[in-house]
Amino acid sequence: MDQPPPSVDACTRGSLDNWALNATVTMSSTDVNSTLKLGVNDNLNLTNCPATQTTANPLVRVDMNATRQVDKVFLLFPSDIAINRLEIYVGEDGGNNRAINHLCTSIQSVTNPWTVASCTQPMNGRYVFLRLQENATTIKICRIYIYSTCLTTSCSNVALSRPAYQSSLSSRGIASLAVDGNRNSNYFQRSCTHTKKKNDPWWYVDLQRLRVVQKVLVTNRKDCCVNRLNGMEVWIGIDNIPTFSNALNTRCGVIPTVGGGETVTVNCSANTVGQYVIIRIPGRNKTLTLCEVEVYEACTRQPRCVNSGCKRGKNANVALGRPTRQSSNFNSISVSANAVDVN
């Protein structure tokens, strides 16, 4: 008898959670002696990520210690490894009995170190499994992040009101003024940041979860000093210590010149994934002033169960993407989930 899935409120613990963060990760075999904490943002050398031995159908198991509703799994593989025929399962069976657990999705070939796996529909389970459908191969992986349904891709500015930091402070231009939702480019209207004049100044915003960033909009000051942003670099990544040569961060773009009061759009390449958006100006004796920084994902318009809608429990269609069942299917495409698919 097909039992209904356990009832899980994906937003119970706060909508920004990475369920892998405190999970217990095990591999079907290991070629390194390590306790795998693949969600933790520690100093990770990407050339020394944990791997299984070469076997048939190697597995990585993430035990989240409680049943969660899983929507997206972000995976960071080392750039020098080939991963083919990857299957991701979600379910209650810790041995990954595939008759019990649910196939979240399968990926024929991983072509980018950052892989974002979206389940075909939100799935409940305590465990997430990575499995390779291969006779003799290995899984080597650097990071795993698991997110719930309520924070699917947003069409809003995901930097708005997020925590922001900068390399130094001058003239009361605190870092949060670049994410206050106000593009006012007159510095004396108190909506622009200001560092001291030093080498390689930086600013960054913490998006508080991973995002696939499509573009970053930066608004320059116009009442003075409009050349200061020239040569600005925009970086996206998972290293919040802005070292900039770090393999965990990706440079989205460089802007040679920015006009006074201008809002420039920096388009990132596909698969630009990160939690931190970093802006820096390389060089000696530079001052960084930002009147607004906006960060956007590639998105399709959805009901407002994103960001504030989900977090505050307002304006959200709470049926969206939830598990569904019906008495029978008319044909193979008339499944019950079609009633909660945003269409």
Binding site for Ca ion (CB under 5 A): 177, 180, 182, 191, 292
Q: Do residues 219 and 263 lie in contact, with contact meaning Cβ atoms separated by under 8 Å?
A: yes
Q: Which is nearer to Ca ion, 129 or 296 (CB)?
A: 296
DSSP string, 290-307: -SEEEEEE------S-ST
| 88: three-class secondary structure by DSSP | strand
State in angstroms the smallest separation of the CB of 206 from Ca ion: 17
DSSP string, 54-113: SBSS-EEEEEEEEEEEEEEEEEE--TT--EEEEEEEEES-TT--TTTSEEEEEEEEE-SS
State in angstroms the smallest separation of the CB of 176 from Ca ion: 9
State in angstroms the smallest separation of the CB of 39 from Ca ion: 32
Neighbours of 97 (CB within 10 A): 11
Q: Which is nearer to Ca ion, 182 or 302 (CB)?
A: 182
Nearest to Ca ion by Cβ — which residue? 191
Q: Which is nearer to Ca ion, 131 or 183 (CB)?
A: 183
State in angstroms the smallest separation of the CB of 261 from Ca ion: 12
Rounded Cα gap, residues 276 and 181, in angstroms? 18
State in angstroms the smallest separation of the CB of 237 from Ca ion: 23
What are 269's two structure tokens? Answer: 């390449």
Backbone angles phi, psi at 320, to 5 degrees: -55, 120
> Strand runs (DSSP E) across the chain, as ranges?
24-27, 59-76, 83-91, 102-110, 114-132, 143-147, 164-166, 202-219, 232-237, 249-255, 263-267, 273-280, 292-297
State in angstroms the smallest separation of the CB of 262 from Ca ion: 14
Q: Which is nearer to Ca ion, 114 or 203 (CB)?
A: 203
Which H or E run contains 310?
Answer: helix 308-312
State in angstroms the smallest separation of the CB of 219 from Ca ion: 7
Pairing of strands 164-166, 263-267: unpaired
Q: Which is nearer to Ca ion, 292 or 297 (CB)?
A: 292
Q: Which is nearer to Ca ion, 103 or 264 (CB)?
A: 264
Q: Which is nearer to Ca ion, 104 or 229 (CB)?
A: 229
